[in-house]
Amino acid sequence: MKADSDATNDEKFSWDGVWIACKDPKIWLYGLGFHTMSLPLYTLSLFLPTIIRDMGYTAAQSQLLTIPPYACATLFTIFWAWLSERYKKRAAFMITTSSIAIIGYIILLTNEDPKKKPGVSYTGTFFAALGIYPSVALVLSWPAINVSGQTKRATANAMQISIGNLGAVLGTQLYRPITSPRYILGHSFALGYLCMNIVVVGTLWYLLAKENRKKQAYLDQHPETPGFHDSDADLAQGDTHPRWHFSP
């Protein structure tokens, strides 16, 4: 664990660490990354049975029909997380799965009569689930592996959840009975949020890659720079240490 991160470092809580996190634009982007995923996540989780029921199924049938999209999403999320870790990449994988979810919501929005063509809308729910759940898993793990300094990382995680769940609060108000069965308002918001997610993740990708290049340029000029774990002073630098590499 010591070789992998700062998890074994006996760091005391300090308000300076909290302030450092608040001043780091990347921390706010991690929060926005989850915010733009939480609305599609919670609306799909809460309203999927209702969406399927309004395709013309009974309440019991709609509950049963939620199982296949979730089962596929579960297996794909495990595979996608493993693949992302193997290549040490996050942003490219999130952009890919968010794009899959966008396809799902386009299918849902363009089907003018879900009751006449329930198979079309039901296919859209598969794409939505296959895209949303892997992206959520990756975005929530992103600051945990990229932020160093235990106080800073704890603050980053708290900010991400707090900022992110504001999207969930908004999402609960969007799927109104009057918009049934197409739910244009809710689906449109989810689609827009997924597009914003791609913008946020792309921006973070750029910033992390830029900082990695700056650190590498510094190390090329100062190869004598000590390792991240060589001393308490090095550990105290957190993710600003030249040898701390971000996972973009």
Distance from C-alpha of 51 to C-alpha of 183, rounded to nearest angstrom: 8
Tens-place pLDDT, residues 51-96: 999 999 999 999 999 999 999 999 999 999 999 999 999 999 999 9
Cα distances (Å, whole numbers) of residue 128 to 26, 37, 49, 109, 239: 27, 12, 14, 12, 34
**Does position 9 have pLDDT exceeding 70, yes or no?**
no
Q: pLDDT at position 63, please?
A: 95
**Entry field: residues in the chain:** 248
> Average pLDDT, stretch 123-132?
97
Query: Domains of the chain, with CATH numbers?
Result: 28-240 (1.20.1250.20)
**Does position 153 have pLDDT exceeding 80, yes or no?**
yes
Which DSSP letter does residue 114 get?
T
Distance from C-alpha of 28 to C-alpha of 18, rounded to nearest angstrom: 13
Going by C-alpha positions, the residue among 215, 26, 234, 25 that lies closest to residue 149 is 234
Q: Taking the CA atoms of the chain, what radius of gyration do you get in angstroms?
A: 21
**238 — alpha (psi -120 to 50), left (phi > 0) or beta?**
left
Distance from C-alpha of 122 to C-alpha of 51, rounded to nearest angstrom: 9
The predicted model scores a pTM of: 0.90
Tens-place pLDDT, residues 98-110: 999 999 999 999 9
Distance from C-alpha of 79 to C-alpha of 132, rounded to nearest angstrom: 14
Q: Give the CA dihedral 238, 242, 247, 248, nearest 10 degrees.
A: 120
Q: Give the CA dihedral 130, 133, 138, 141, nearest 10 degrees.
A: -160
Q: pLDDT at position 2, please?
A: 59
Q: pLDDT at position 239, please?
A: 82
Q: pLDDT at position 114, please?
A: 92
Tens-place pLDDT, residues 219-240: 899 888 887 665 565 566 778 8
**Does position 164 have pLDDT exceeding 60, yes or no?**
yes
Tens-place pLDDT, residues 33-59: 999 999 999 999 999 999 999 999 999
Confidence of residue 11 (pLDDT cuts 50, 70, 90): low
Which DSSP letter does residue 226 get?
P
Tens-place pLDDT, residues 176-203: 999 999 999 999 999 999 999 999 999 9
Distance from C-alpha of 69 to C-alpha of 51, rounded to nearest angstrom: 13
Q: pLDDT at position 231, please?
A: 59
Going by C-alpha positions, the residue among 32, 15, 245 that lies closest to residue 148 is 245
